[in-house]
Each structure stands twice: as C-alpha cells, then as structure tokens.
Amino acid sequence: MNRYHTVCFSLAICGTTPASASGDSVKSLQLSTGVYWSQGDYREGINRSMAAIPLAARVQADTWSARLATTLLTSEQLGTEANNKEQKERQSGMGDTWLSATHHLPPQQTNSLFIDLTGKLKWASGNDAKALSSGTTDTELRMDGFKRFDSLTLSSGFGYRWRSGNVTYKNSANAIVGADWRWTPGNNVGVTLSAGEPSTASSSGQREWLIYWSIKRASNTRWTLYALHGTSTSTPDIGAGVTISRAFTIN
C-alpha cells in the first residue's frame, strides 16, 4: 500500500498562505518534486523502507485551485521466515495518482478564519501486487481551516474517504492539526499531527507527527525540509525528505 499520501497532504499546508488571504485575483502554476525516505515495522516480523520521488502540478485561478500528484516509489521489505532465515523483497514503480480541486472561501473580515473545501479522487495507477498501491479507487471530501495570529498560523482539518475496488479496505475518517510560525520573511517552521481511522480490519489507526522548515526564495521557489515520526503500525517509525516547488504566473 502507498503510505506517502498523508505526508503529501501535510506538506501541502506547510509554510503556505491561504489562497483567499490577499483578496486579489491570482492565476499561477506550481510544479513540485523532491525526495523522501521512511522506515518502519508495519506488522510483526516485517520491516519496510521506502524511497519516493513526488511529482505534482497545481493550478490556481482566483479562489479555485486544482492539483495532480503521483510518486515514483521503491519499497524494500525485510522479513523473517519460519526457519529464521531473513528474506528481502524489493519493488519499484509508479504509485497511485491523486486529482483534487479546492475552493478557497474568502474571509468575511480581516484576520478571520480561512476555509478550504476540497474534493479528491485517487485511482490505482500503482501495482498493488508489488505493495505500491492499495488497489482501490478512492474519493475524499475534506474541510480545512486556517487562523492567523500575526506571524503564527494555526490550522486544522477533517476529511472522510470512501474506497471501492478492494473489499480488504474500508471507508475511514482522518484529521490534521498544525502550527506554522513565520520567523523571518520567507522562512517558516512548523509542526503537524495527522491521525486517521484504521483502513483495514486488522490495521491500527494512523498517527504521525511531522516537523518542517520551509524556505522561500526570490525566484518564487520554495524548499521544504521535513522529518516525521509515526506512533502506530500503520505509519513509518521515522522518515525525512525535501521538496522543492516553483511557481509561475499565468497571464
């Protein structure tokens, strides 16, 4: 199963400003990529490490935005057979693909709460036989809120995902909270905590902490360095990565 989606969403709100904050007409294209690595014991006797190269494109027009994202994955699984002999299995390929559309609700007054309403669609572009995909077609609806206090922005969100195509997986809710601090212009640090209901009858709920440092350059380029720690068997024990994004104005 591709577990990189939770990380992608956490990073999507790192060091960013709600699109409706300025109140101006905005049309832009943002391209993103990076590298990511994680390792964890997802069930007894199985240790899995994963490397990923995320690929994403985001288009924004006024109070609407759309995002297309996928990953190139390499998953390495190390287990122990009944005769105590170690067994290693390595798989590489494309992960699942997500398409999302977000409406950024304009605030009713200055410094009020910013609200994002998002619909998502995921299709199984990865190979579930290689553990690079869940093999399901997913839809998700979510609402996220952002509240500014000078240089501090607090965020929270709630979503619900419906899965079809594989009876092993079930529908589940998820939530995220975060805090972002702009300590100098163009430099943000922050933390998020994401959690979710179990996606299968035998798995545990997802719980994951993520810390980051986001750096914006004058050329509309943003670098984000991050590390994560999962506290359940459905999330990595440790992980780290870097993303780079470049924004282009659309005339």
Segments making up each domain of the chain, as ranges: 5-249
**What CA–CA distance (Å, rounded) separates 132 from 103?**
30
What pLDDT sits at residue 11?
57
Structure tokens at 191: 């933390």
What pLDDT sits at residue 24?
45
Q: For the chain, how big is the Rg over CA atoms in Å? A: 18
Triad 197, 199, 200: Cα angle to 5°: 125
Contact 76, 50 (CB under 8 A): yes
Q: Does domain 5-249 have CATH number 2.40.160.40?
A: yes
**What CA–CA distance (Å, rounded) separates 12 from 18?**
11
Residue 5 neighbours by CB under 8 Å, 6+ apart: 96, 98, 122
Distance, first Cα to last Cα, the chain: 40
**At CB < 8 A and 24+ separation, what contacts does 67-70 make?**
67/12, 67/98, 67/99, 67/100, 67/101, 67/102, 68/97, 68/98, 68/99, 69/8, 69/97, 69/98, 69/100, 70/94, 70/95, 70/96, 70/97, 70/98, 70/125
Tell me the C-alpha to C-alpha distance, in Å, between residue 23 and each of 12, 19, 63, 79, 185.
21, 8, 9, 54, 20
Triad 184, 188, 194: Cα angle to 5°: 160
What pLDDT sits at residue 25?
53
Residue segments in the chain with a per-residue pLDDT below the cut of 50? 1-2, 21-24, 82-83
**What CA–CA distance (Å, rounded) separates 239 from 3?**
12
Residue 184 neighbours by CB under 8 Å, 6+ apart: none
CA 224 vs. chain centroid, Å, equals: 13
Which class for 171: exposed (0-12), middle (13-18), buried (19 or more C-beta within 10 A)? middle
Tell me the C-alpha to C-alpha distance, in Å, between residue 48 and each of 89, 126, 159, 161, 237.
9, 17, 27, 25, 10
**What CA–CA distance (Å, rounded) separates 197 from 204?**
8
DSSP at 205 = P
CB count within 10 Å of CB 220 equals 13
What pLDDT sits at residue 208?
94
